[in-house]
Amino acid sequence: MVSIERMRVDAMAAFEAAVEAVRPENLVPAQISRSGDNRMVGGEPLPEVSGRRVVMSIGKAAPGLAGAWQKAMPGWADEILVLTPHGVPVPPEVETAATILRGAHPYPDADGEASTRRLLEIAEGLGANDLLVVLLSGGGSALMAAPEEGLALADVHATTKALLKAGAPITEVNTVRRQLLAAAGGGLARAAHPALVRTLILSDVLGDPLPDIASGPTVASPTTAADALAVLDRFGLLGAIPGPVVSFLENAKIRPTDARSWMGTTSTSILGNNRTAIEAAAAELAARGYSAEAAAGYLEGEASKRGRELAARAREEECSAPSAVVIGGETTVTVRGSGRGGRNQELALAAAIELEGADSTVILAAGTDGVDGLSENAGAVVDPTTIDRLQKIGIDAREALDYNDSGTALAAAGDAIHTGPTGTNVCDLTIVLSARTREGKGRD
């Protein structure tokens, strides 16, 4: 019989395999090779230039990406800059070789603004004989916090917070941020023009739409101020955000559409993404004896609703052997209370409520970056005993869910996953394991 304890261990092993597959030290070397005298990066020749060679590594995975680049291309860069969130560890070899800049996530701060101004200043100093390599990962939108002229950091902070609290998907959030941030929507590449710009991306956005990954600092924005206003209106926020933001957008005080003047000097490659992690997790589960499926679609929408749906489906499923489904995605949370948690823990707690009284089912939901919302946890792994364990220590799971306090409840139950920052970021993974056979019993 496949025990719940074993299934929990297997789910965690699959999550760890997924994270390992998208670590920069594993992805970057695979993209760098030689073809004759040319150094190939992402299948394209890395341009040879007579001037400066600058590397800017930006995002939650920035230290790892910079370190992997240093190891694969020793001595290549004239200057390396790393912009990453406060608290994300930096390897000693990167600390020694690079300028380390900091900013906040998910809400921008003054350090992020100053750091972005520094990046833009260096980019503006590049010329036609120079090359800028941008190593980009998730979290860049919040980190690159310098607002457009006429706006203050407080305006961007309040607008970002309002959108996230309203449960806006990341594509909608970035439709607004691309208009408000100086480095977004191609702003960094425009600043570097006429230098060549080569971007390598560890994607944290489903489907890899380039303008949405870190708000697209080296690609043109496909949306306008009118689109940003439409997003704010759709979420009922036009009266809730700072007046200068609405005025800025209404007056169309945005960057001119000038892609033709700089896009010819840029190119972009994807290093890894959510699909990379999904397939690694599914392969690990298959090796552990499960009939494993790497789901084709993505998990989006309200986290608690998706958790209930997955659990309801799992408790009704009957299979001839232990089965596993790995789903990538990024859900959202409409904040009603002031508890501690995040979208993965919210999904997991809602699933646990639905699983109460079921048998032989385990559900894991976690962020590949090791961070879930404003909590210290990456996510959680739950099973049919979770609610009983909470009840025994006096915690009402439904009340915790209503108060958006999933993190507190799941930590108390012993179901929270705590990894610390993983050094990578490709959205979230949800793993559903079931050993409910047609005879109603688990089996080896």
Question: To which CATH superfamily is domain 23-146+181-220+257-272 assigned?
Answer: Glycerate kinase, MOFRL-like N-terminal domain (3.40.50.10180)
Q: Where in the chain is the domain with CATH 3.40.50.10180?
A: 23-146+181-220+257-272
At residue 318, the pLDDT reads 75
At residue 132, the pLDDT reads 98
Q: Where in the chain is the domain with CATH 3.40.1480.10?
A: 4-16+275-434
**Buried-exposed string 292-321: b where 16+ CB fall within 10 A, e elsewhere:** bbbeeebbeebbbebbbbbbeebbeeeeee
Question: To which CATH superfamily is domain 4-16+275-434 assigned?
Answer: MOFRL domain (3.40.1480.10)
Q: What is the pLDDT along the chain (444 residues), one digit of tens a residue?
A: 689 999 999 999 999 999 999 999 999 999 998 877 788 898 889 999 999 999 999 999 999 999 999 999 999 999 999 999 999 999 999 999 999 999 998 889 999 999 999 999 999 999 999 999 999 998 899 999 999 999 999 999 999 999 988 988 888 999 999 999 999 999 999 999 999 999 999 999 999 999 999 999 999 999 999 999 999 999 999 999 999 999 999 986 445 555 557 888 899 999 999 999 999 999 999 999 999 999 999 999 999 999 999 999 998 877 778 999 999 999 999 888 889 999 999 999 999 999 998 989 999 999 999 999 878 999 999 999 999 999 999 999 999 999 999 999 999 999 999 999 899 999 999 999 998 765 544 444
